[in-house]
Amino acid sequence: MVVTSPSAIDLAFERARRGDPEGFADWVRAGELPLRRSLRPFTRRVDVEAIVQEGLLRMWDLAPRIDLQGRDASLRYAARLVRNLALKEIERGARLDPIPPGDDDVVIQPDRPPDSGLRRIIMDCFSRLPRKPREALLARVSDGGDNPDRDLAASLGMRLNTFLQNIVRARRHLASCLESHGVPPREYLS
Amino acid sequence: MRADNDADRDALIEATASAFRERDASGRIVPSPAWRDLAPEDREAAFDHQIAARHVERALDPDGLSATARAVLLRARRLTQLVRGEQE
């Protein structure tokens, strides 16, 4: 019999099962991006952001009631959950396109620990942004998805479209700055 | 908002990168209106754009959390408080 030691995400999920919000935060930190990437086949037909949020919230709700076995089992469970949510959303839209092929044996890995070097470069590039694009992007980042863009724009005295154009400019500056530091876009798209 | 030119298209894609999502009467998280307005190929661009945005948010957040993670954790805490309030 092979006994595997629990992974960091297994330990975080165990804490979430006991109702520990910090444990759930650790679980989300390691699981969000792999779950998002797993939804790539559905990109054209569902708003992946909405599915990821719904799936993560359901994991918090379900955690105390599910007992999972095996390494990274909670992440594999969550991958099946978000896939089913995406399929339901497609059904709701009654679209006629074929559904992507099934994938019952989900292969998914927890996110790797953040690259501190990349983080430092992003922070440095952010600090060099022109004022208005930086303000707009900072408003979006600081808000953490709690308010719509129109409210964030109003708080900065900008029209919604101006606010969005400023964030677009900010991202272009960031991408260019990152590339000047030798960080190609695929590094932060992966 | 429909994309008539590249600037409008970029703004629409950027709008989908927000982690804010409305909810319907049942509490279900609903798709972004900007996402609905995107052409299928632009939805693929929006997907990559969201991943890049989350990396930037994680880098800038002191706790290393993306806006998606923060939105979900805030909602989870509110739901937990709601349930506890009902139990008391």
ipTM of the prediction: 0.91
Residues 6+ apart with CB under 8 A from A186: none
Query: What pLDDT was estimated at residue A168?
Result: 96
Q: Among B55, B16, B44, which Cα is nearest to A189's?
A: B55
The helix/strand/coil state of B28 is coil
CB atoms within 10 A of CB B76: 21
**% pLDDT > 70, chain A:** 88
Query: What pLDDT was estimated at residue A3?
Result: 58
Q: Which two tokens stand for residue B69?
A: 């993670």
Query: pTM score > 0.95 for this model?
Result: no
Any idea which residue has 């009902």 for tokens? B86
Minimal CA separation from A56 to chain B, in Å: 7
Is residue A84 a contact partner of residue A58, using CB atoms and an 8 Å limit? no
Chain B interface includes A62 (CB < 8 A): no
Chain B interface includes A84 (CB < 8 A): no
Mean per-residue pLDDT, A21-30: 95
Pairwise CA distance, residues A50 & A34, whole Å? 15
> Which residues in chain A are contacts of B19 at CB distance < 8 A?
49, 53, 144-145
Residues 6+ apart with CB under 8 A from A182: none
Pairwise CA distance, residues A51 & A39, whole Å? 9
Query: What pLDDT was estimated at residue B72?
Result: 96
Residues 6+ apart with CB under 8 A from A154: none
Query: Which pLDDT band holds residue A99 (cuts at 50, 70, 90)?
Result: very low
Query: Could A174 and B35 be called an inter-chain contact, meaning their C-beta atoms sit closer than 8 Å?
Result: no
For residue range A155-185, what is the model confidence (pLDDT) as tens digits? 999 999 999 999 999 999 999 999 999 988 7
Does pLDDT of A95 surpass 70? no
Q: Facing residues of A8 across strands? A: none
How far apart are the two ends of chain A, measured CA to CA in Å?
Answer: 36
Minimal CA separation from A136 to chain B, in Å: 12
- Between A113 and A73, the more confident residue is A73
Chain A interface includes B29 (CB < 8 A): yes
> Which residues in chain B are contacts of A147 at CB distance < 8 A?
20
Q: Which two tokens stand for residue A14?
A: 């165990």
Chain mean pLDDT for chain B: 89
Inter-chain CB pairs, A–B, below 8 Å = 162
For residue range A133-161, what is the model confidence (pLDDT) as tens digits? 999 999 999 999 999 999 999 999 999 99
Substitution target in A45, A47, A53, A90 with the highest count of B β-carbons within 10 Å is: A47
